[in-house]
Structure 1
Amino acid sequence: MIGQQHHVSGAHFAFTDRWGGVSAAPYEQLNLGGAVGDDPAAVLANRARAAQALGLDPADVVWMNQVHGRDVAVVDGPWTEGDIPSVDAVVTARRGLALAVLTADCTPVLLADPVAGVVGAAHAGRPGLVAGVVPAVVAAMVELGAEPPRIHAYTGPSVCGRCYEVPETMRAEVAAVVPQAWATTSWDTPSVDVSAGVCAQLAAAGVQLRTQSLLCTRESADHFSYRRDRTTGRLASYVWLGDAPGEAVL
């Protein structure tokens, strides 16, 4: 269910896999995405299970209506149903409020400055990488008092450069903005490495404490992959601050 967890000075980072939920094929099992055609009741049950596994109240998880852009929302509480904005990043200074990103090949980016008490989460697909959602979320955190050298950043499982084939013109367009995203597939065709591009943008923004996931969603049977399966579920990545600075880890 929870594939990976990390804890830093009261900041929590977690990434789900596809197991431990109630969704039927092709969304089996722990689909956390509400806009992919799955039974809404199953999605709610899965979100409750994942939150419980992390020691969170499902009502304290902030989701986004992701649109592959660069807009960032500052939040201090959960949205009301129907008011979820179309953004690809969220930041908060409220402890106990978890920020969530949905992915099935795109790169989830989780960030925290435990000293300032600020966290952020971003959805970075190829369009969002080019649009600049990563520097935008770092800038929004800085507005709340974070300092880039103190920010811990984790990327989650995503499609790797060996697997993300794109037309040559598209690779060139992405590399013109983020040269580090230029890649070649394992079968020697043009590709894009979004995760590498994200890490390069984080470095350029002054974020030095970076941990990059090496898990490829297309290669892993334990993760959802849109590139591999097309109709499939969504993974979730969560970041939040504990109730008190320096609290014991879960």
Structure 2
Amino acid sequence: MSAVIELGPGVRAGFTQRYDGGVSAEPFDTLNLGMGVPDDRDAVVENRRIAAARLGFGHGRVVWMNQVHSADVAIAEEPGVVGRVDGVVTTRTDLVLGTLAADCLPILAADPAARVIGAAHSGRLGTAHGVASALVAEMVRNGAEVGRITVALGPSICGRCYEVPHHLQEEVTRSTPEAASRTREGTPGVDLCAGVTAQLQRAGIGHVAVDERCTLESPDLFSHRRDSKTGRFAGYVWWA
């Protein structure tokens, strides 16, 4: 596992890696946590149990999203799948929030004083639509204070690797110019981490920790851009 970090007193966040145990066969080897890929369902269930046990919580506490590249945010009141959204917030301290990725940017957030935690998934479209800002706004509606929210950004494809056509780059940079990048080949690109960091700063978030690993460059992480048919790693935020 990636190192577990503290998002404040009592709140933990962590990201899984591709080969942290797991039972999935190629090309989803080994710790695929995504149900939305054609992996064996029983293998994914076992992988989710393994990941949760290693991080120190019960897999039955986890809230998952059916991620659709939106800026919609749901409120979680119970474990399971919360719906077709890309952000989730809860005030329940017995729930664990999970977000899946394989190049997109996983976002984990907490205001421990208000007992509010959140998670989101921000790909190119989610970044263009501002899912990170929507997550912060929903946390505030549920009692969080912007100045107290701490955010952890997980691994994602970097701006030097994420090549897109110019018109798709413009879709993101119209709202978030900081997301514009040039790839190693000098072509248009999108820097998800830079874009989301800028969105969070504009929302008033002052505490952002970044895992700078590039999913395409790191064989320890799943990458859809690199491998096409592949699994998903997860980011989790929970109360210890």
The TM-score normalised by the length of structure 1 is 0.93
1:179 aligns with 2:177: yes
Q: CA deviation at 1:5?
A: 1.1
What CA distance in whole angstroms lies between the structure 2 residues aligned with 1:5 and 1:231?
A: 28
Alignment match, 2:17: 17
Q: CA deviation at 1:84?
A: 4.1
Q: Structure 1 pair 95/84, CA: closer, same or farther in 2 (3 Å)?
A: closer
Q: CA deviation at 1:148?
A: 0.9
Match of 1:207 among 205, 208, 212: 205
Q: Is the 8 A contact 1:32 1:236 kept in 2?
A: yes
**Secondary structure in structure 1 of the residue aligned to 2:236:** strand
What CA distance in whole angstroms lies between the structure 2 residues aligned with 1:195 and 1:141?
A: 20
Q: Is the 8 A contact 2:74 2:82 kept in 1?
A: no
1:33 aligns with 2:31: no
Structure 1 residue runs of 4+, over 6 Å off? none
Alignment match, 2:4: 5
Q: Deviations along 1:101-146, whole A, 9 cap, x unmatched?
A: 0000000000000111100000000101111111111011001110
Q: Deviations along 1:41-88, whole A, 9 cap, x unmatched?
A: 100000000000111111100001000001111112113xxx641010
Q: CA deviation at 1:169?
A: 1.6
**Secondary structure in structure 2 of the residue aligned to 1:115:** helix
1:106 aligns with 2:104: yes
Q: Is the 8 A contact 1:4 1:16 kept in 2?
A: no
Amino acid at match of 1:24: A
Alignment match, 1:246: none
Q: Is the 8 A contact 1:103 1:236 kept in 2?
A: yes
Q: Deviations along 1:127-181, whole A, 9 cap, x unmatched?
A: 0111111111101100111011111101000000000000012112211110000
Amino acid at match of 1:147: E
What CA distance in whole angstroms lies between the structure 2 residues aligned with 1:4 and 1:234?
A: 18
What CA distance in whole angstroms lies between the structure 1 residues aligned with 2:82 and 2:204?
A: 30
What CA distance in whole angstroms lies between the structure 2 residues aligned with 1:26 and 1:4?
A: 25
**Secondary structure in structure 2 of the residue aligned to 1:169:** helix
Question: What stretches of structure 1 of length at least 5 have no aligned partner?
Answer: 243-250
Amino acid at match of 2:3: Q
Q: Is the 8 A contact 1:66 1:123 kept in 2?
A: yes
Q: Is the 8 A contact 1:110 1:154 kept in 2?
A: yes
Amino acid at match of 2:54: A
What CA distance in whole angstroms lies between the structure 2 residues aligned with 1:71 and 1:47?
A: 24
Q: CA deviation at 1:239?
A: 0.4
Q: CA deviation at 1:211?
A: 0.9
Cα RMSD, aligned residues only: 0.9
What CA distance in whole angstroms lies between the structure 1 residues aligned with 2:239 and 2:59?
A: 15
What CA distance in whole angstroms lies between the structure 2 residues aligned with 1:76 and 1:118?
A: 12
5 Å-filtered alignment, 1:79-158, equals 79=80, 84-158=82-156
What CA distance in whole angstroms lies between the structure 1 residues aligned with 2:173 and 2:82?
A: 32
Q: Is the 8 A contact 1:114 1:241 kept in 2?
A: no
**Secondary structure in structure 2 of the residue aligned to 1:109:** strand
